[in-house]
Amino acid sequence: MPTLPRMNNDTVATPSPADLRERLVEDLISDGVIATPSIAEAFRTVPRHVFAPGASLEEAYARDIVVVKRNEHGTPISTVSAPEIQAGQLEQAQITPGMRVLEIGSGGYNAALIAELVGAGGHVTTVDIDPVVTDRARSFLDEAGYGQVNVLLADAEGGVPEHAPYDRIIVTVGAWDIPPAWTEQLAEDGRLVVPLRMRGVTRSLALEREGDHLVSRSAHVCGFVKMQGAGAHDERLWLLRGDRVGLRFDDGTLEQPSLLDGVLNTEPAAVWSGVRVGRTEPFATLPLWLATTLPEVPPVARTPAVRSLGGV
């Protein structure tokens, strides 16, 4: 980790962007998020703060999202994703120099990281449905020195056929399905990295093309803003106890919601399963297993009212 500069009065000076990038990289390596030297070097090189001009340097290099745009309800619809999410997807993608890469869901920063990985012989296209997002991405990429990246305004449901085939397609918005165009525009043995929502559980999947189908190679926990345009999908939420607990349905709904009236008004009862999970033992695959093994059981959603009370 770099030594932070100190002023004459022994007060720590404000770290430079390069210092903050180095600190971020060392943290991500220490936590096992970054394992590939070329990805570490890309994070050291690309000035993340250029792509988040409304944030302070500390906020730009924190391990958190930077909100770029919200909808009329205040919900984020465009963000600079958390560094560990971006690094995780890049590790899944296994990008090498000279590759052709399509990024679906723009912002600029991730496209710049990809440009570093593909090098001068590679080709990067980033596409978004929102003109505000693409205008910002174009401006920031030019400012940061990545003018070679193609920035397109389009609904990516149909992919971007004019630059296909792609060795890698990386999707940085939450998807409900995989449009045929994404598979068709992958090169043979190409890889698609997509945050796919499956019965309330979202995982970033690394899918390799084998003939006419895709084979999963890895699945990582993640969270992204929702897909817009033709690939958008509205979920249904039935509140069970005021605004505190609800059942969320990705598909379908309740035929007789009145049958659930008062179902959570009784005193709670706890029944232990007998399964113990250690403090450092990962169990991120459990929700995915439950969602695929018990498809008739919808996820129980915590509302903001429950989270504010410390509910689980």
**Average pLDDT rounded to a whole number, residues 220-225:** 82
The pLDDT of residue 312: 38
The overall pTM is greater than 0.75: yes
**Average pLDDT rounded to a whole number, residues 167-182:** 93
Q: What is the mean pLDDT of the chain?
A: 84
Q: Which of 213, 161, 160, 157 is nearest to 188 (CA)?
A: 213
Per-residue pLDDT of 58-88, as tens digits, reads: 999 998 877 776 777 666 666 778 899 999 9
pLDDT interval class at 307 (50, 70, 90): very low
Q: Is 81 a catalytic residue?
A: yes
User: Of 16, 56, 81, 106, which residue is the catalytic one?
Assistant: 81
**Average pLDDT rounded to a whole number, residues 95-119:** 97
CA distances to 62, 154, 225, 266 from 229, rounded to whole Å, are: 30, 9, 13, 42
Which CATH superfamily hosts domain 64-231? Vaccinia Virus protein VP39 (3.40.50.150)
Where are the chain's structural domains?
64-231, 234-262+286-312
Per-residue pLDDT of 1-49, as tens digits, reads: 455 555 555 555 778 999 999 999 999 999 999 999 999 999 999 999 9
In what order do the strands lie in the sheet containing 186-198? Answer: 150-153, 123-128, 100-104, 166-171, 186-198, 201-210, 213-221
